[in-house]
Each structure stands twice: as C-alpha cells, then as structure tokens.
C-alpha cells in the first residue's frame, strides 16, 4: 500500500513537470523548474526554502526591519511637531481673554479698568514706541481738525480746551523721547516698563475721551452724512458697528471711500456675519495677499491698489445668478468674474462691523486683520448698480444715490475702542 502511494506521488510530480513544460511557451523566456518535495513537507515552505538562499532571506528581513524603524522615527517626529504647534496655540490662547461677544482664540484685550491703546500683541520696546508715535500723530490730527473748526466758529471754550490737550500731548512726546534715550543708554529705569506703559496708556485713554467729547460739539452743526470714521491703530478692539442688520439679498452693490497707507495690507474695511457663518460677506486685505471678497467663505481676489495714503472710491457688485461680480476703483472697472457663491443669497439677521473681521457673531476680532485708515460714505444697495451710477458716486455727482439697504448716516453707526467720527465731505477734502 505504501509502495503504491509512493509511486502515485512520483507520477503526480512527473505530470506537474510535463504540464509546466507545456505551458512555458506562454511566458516568453520564463523557465519552470521542477523540484522534488517530500510528501510530509508543506509545498509553500519548501518552495521558499529552495528559491531564496539563506543569506538573501536574512538581508531582506533586515531591510524590512530598517524600513519599519525609519517609518516609526518619522511618525515620532510628526507627533512632536504637532505637540509643539498645539503648545504654541495653547499659549497664545492663554495670553488672551474674551470680551462680551468677542470669544476668539486670537489676540484679544483683557477687560481691565483702562483701555490698552497700544494693542494687545506682545511688543518689544521698539514696537511700543512706534505704536505710541502713531497714537500721538492720530491725536494731533484730530486736534488740528478741532482747531480748524474752532476758528470757523470762533469758540473760545474750544480753543482753551484744545490748548490744554495740546500741552498734554507735548508732555507725552517728552515721555516718548525720554524712553528712546533710555533705550539708547541702557538705563536700568526701563525695568519698570510695564508700569510706565500703564501710566502712558491711562493718559492716552483720557486724551481720547476728552477729544471725543470735544468733537461731539461739532455734530450739532454738520449734516448727518458729512463725516468719516478714523481707525488710527491696528488693534482688536477698535471698530464701528452698524445698528441695523441686512435683509436677504440676491444681489448687492457696496461702495465706500477709503484712505490708508497701512502695510502689509489695509485690513478689513467691513465684515458681515450671520449665525453659523462668520464670513457671510467680508472685504479684507490681509498680510501680503491682494484684497479679497468673501461670500459664504468663497473667495474672489480683487485688483484694488489703495494703500498709498490717498482717498479712493471703491465699489463691488455681485449677483447670486452665476455668482457674477465686478470691482470698480475711482469709477473705473478694474476686474470681474463669476462663480462666486452662485445661487447663495446673502442671509439676513446678521451683524455688520466696520474696521474688523469677525470670527464669531459680532466679535472674535484679530488685530492683524484690523483696518487702519479712514472710511466715508459706506453704502449698500440690494441690486447691481450700473456703470454710470457708480461713476456718479466716484465723482460726487449731484445725481449720486445713497444706499437703499444701508446709507451713510452718523446716527446709524456706533464706534468703540477709540475709533472716531469727524467732519468730512467727499470730493471737497480729498487728498
């Protein structure tokens, strides 16, 4: 019986070799080799043992092991990078505190007894002095405007208060000069810089308030639409809020006068957020990027160049049909496109902010995205204006229209954090 089985085994082996030899023609130069395999041994194991020499097998295993170790090291490095980024983000968030309606994981100002007029981003002495210089320049500009107003109206009280405020600004400039000298000489008195900065902050806040009170006296003598908004500093708490929301819109035109020399990027002239979508409608120029129009988080790049310190009139039109948009600067079309949030109507019941980009409804401001400069005649229509209508606005024609959704009126806007309103009339005070 055993001999019969052994004979059967060899017959099967011979048959396999014959079949292999017959099939070799289909594989070109491939050669089949028949190998005798003991009947009690696994065929796959025997094939591996006979086809791969011991040294080659060992080398293959070592290469696989080395590959696994390299992949493990790569994964560990990636985990370490993620931990570092997470740690940095946590530190940034821990250094900021949210205000009511301003819960964002970015640069924020803690609510304290006095306002930090020099921003919240951590600064070295040089940055602090530069920020102080810009603040003082802004105060001087506002005082010069008040001086011109007082000459026109022959107000003795306004002159006396202006002189008092000018003296205070002179004192502040002396403090700045003293700090510059201290930096150059390396005086040890700079160790109390935080306390010194607090005193300067407090004085600047008081000046802002007194100048604002003085400016309020002008409002009784000017038309409600003859004013401009000024955002002198790049902070996360200086902004203006439109008192009313926007309706649902299937088309719109937004127009305004802007003046800025901020770099890099003029910031965010306006942002409109609705529940569930902070970027419902945003105009922003951030960092070294071109100015962008965002609708429902979809982006179109606009060919505006306005950060030359001169007044420019800009208009943007859009329709939900095919998402067609057009961009005008100083009455001339500079660019157009389509497929920008097509068939998405602008949603109602949102919050319209001037000067800041919202990351939450009505808040979440980031100092790096804040608008720096002046703004006037911000108007919104719920239709696409014609080329002629936009030209009339840019040239201050008597035929120019005001927005039917939002029109530029002083009583429709509230300012916060040091943003100010003062007299301005387009085309008479340009550049």
Residues 261, 378 contacting (CB under 8 angstroms): no
Whole-number mean pLDDT of the chain? 74
43-57, 138-152, 357-371: range with lowest mean pLDDT: 43-57
Q: Where are the alpha helices (DSSP H) in 95-189?
A: 125-153, 156-185
* Residue 306: how many other CB atoms lie within 10 Å: 22
How is residue 399 written in tokens? 């035929």
Query: What are residue 423's DSSP bridge partners?
Result: 227
Residue 292: per-residue pLDDT: 97
Residues 362, 353 contacting (CB under 8 angstroms): yes
| φ/ψ of residue 179, rounded to 5 | -70, -35
The domain defined by 229-423 folds into Jelly Rolls (2.60.120)
Structure pTM?
Answer: 0.57
What separation in angstroms does the CA of 181 have from each of 170, 184, 186, 187, 189? 17, 5, 8, 9, 11
**Cα pseudo-dihedral 15, 16, 21, 23, rounded to 10:** 110
**Cα pseudo-dihedral 392, 398, 399, 403, rounded to 10:** 80
Residue 270: per-residue pLDDT: 98
Q: CA torsion sign, 249 to 369 to 414 to 157?
A: negative
Q: Give pLDDT tens digits for 160-203.
A: 555 666 666 666 666 666 665 665 555 445 455 556 666 666 66
Is residue 88 over pLDDT 70? no
200-204, 241-245, 304-308: range with lowest mean pLDDT: 200-204
To the nearest 10 degrees (0 to 180), the angle between helices 193-216 and 156-185 is 160
* CA–CA separation, 429 and 136 (whole Å): 22
Direct distance between the N- and C-terminal alpha carbons of the chain, in angstroms, rounded to an integer: 114
45-54, 215-224, 412-421: range with lowest mean pLDDT: 45-54
Closest to 246 (Cα-Cα) out of 406, 11, 68, 8? 406
Q: Where are the domains of the chain?
A: 229-423
How is residue 69 written in tokens? 């170790």
* CA–CA separation, 349 and 358 (whole Å): 15
């Amino acid at each position: 019986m055993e001999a019969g089985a052994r004979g059967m085994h060899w017959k099967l082996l011979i048959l396999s070799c014959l079949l292999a030899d017959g099939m070799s023609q289909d594989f070109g130069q491939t050669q089949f080799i028949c190998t005798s395999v003991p009947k009690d041994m696994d065929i796959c194991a025997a094939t591996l043992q006979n086809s791969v020499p011991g040294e080659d097998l060992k080398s293959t295993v070592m290469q696989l092991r080395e590959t696994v170790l390299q992949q493990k090291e790569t994964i560990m490095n990636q985990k370490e990078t993620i931990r570092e980024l997470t740690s940095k983000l946590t530190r940034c968030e821990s250094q900021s505190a949210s205000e009511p309606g301003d819960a964002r994981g970015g640069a924020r100002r803690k609510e304290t007894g006095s306002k930090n007029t020099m921003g919240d981003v951590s600064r070295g002495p040089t940055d602090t002095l530069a920020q102080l210089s810009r603040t003082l320049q802004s105060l001087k500009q506002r005082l010069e405007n008040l001086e011109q107003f007082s000459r026109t109206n022959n107000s003795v009280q306004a002159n006396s208060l202006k002189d008092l405020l000018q003296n205070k600004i002179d004192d502040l400039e002396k403090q700045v000069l003293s700090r510059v000298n201290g930096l150059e000489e390396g005086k040890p008195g700079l160790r109390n810089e935080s306390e010194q900065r607090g005193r300067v902050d407090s004085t600047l806040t008081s000046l802002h308030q007194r100048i604002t009170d003085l400016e309020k006296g002008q409002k009784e003598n000017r038309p409600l639409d003859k004013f401009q908004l000024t955002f002198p500093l790049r902070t996360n708490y200086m902004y203006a809020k439109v008192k009313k929301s926007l309706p649902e819109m299937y088309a719109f035109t937004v127009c305004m006068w802007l003046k800025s020399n901020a770099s890099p990027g003029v910031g965010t002239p306006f942002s409109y957020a609705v529940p569930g979508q902070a970027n419902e409608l945003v105009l922003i120029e951030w960092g070294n990027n071109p100015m962008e129009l965002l609708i429902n988080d979809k982006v179109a790049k606009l060919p505006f160049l306005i950060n030359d310190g001169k007044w420019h009139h800009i208009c943007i039109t859009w329709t939900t049909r095919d998402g067609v948009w057009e961009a005008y600067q100083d009455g001339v079309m500079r660019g157009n496109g389509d497929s920008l949030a097509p068939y998405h109507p602008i949603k109602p019941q949102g919050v319209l902010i001037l000067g800041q980009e919202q990351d939450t409804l009505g808040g979440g401001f980031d100092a790096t995205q804040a608008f720096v400069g002046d703004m006037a005649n911000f108007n919104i229509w719920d239709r696409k204006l014609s080329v002629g209508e936009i030209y009339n606005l840019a040239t201050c024609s008597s035929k120019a229209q005001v927005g039917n959704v939002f029109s530029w009126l002083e009583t429709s806007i509230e300012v916060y954090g040091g943003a100010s309103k003062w007299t301005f009339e387009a085309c008479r005070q340009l550049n």
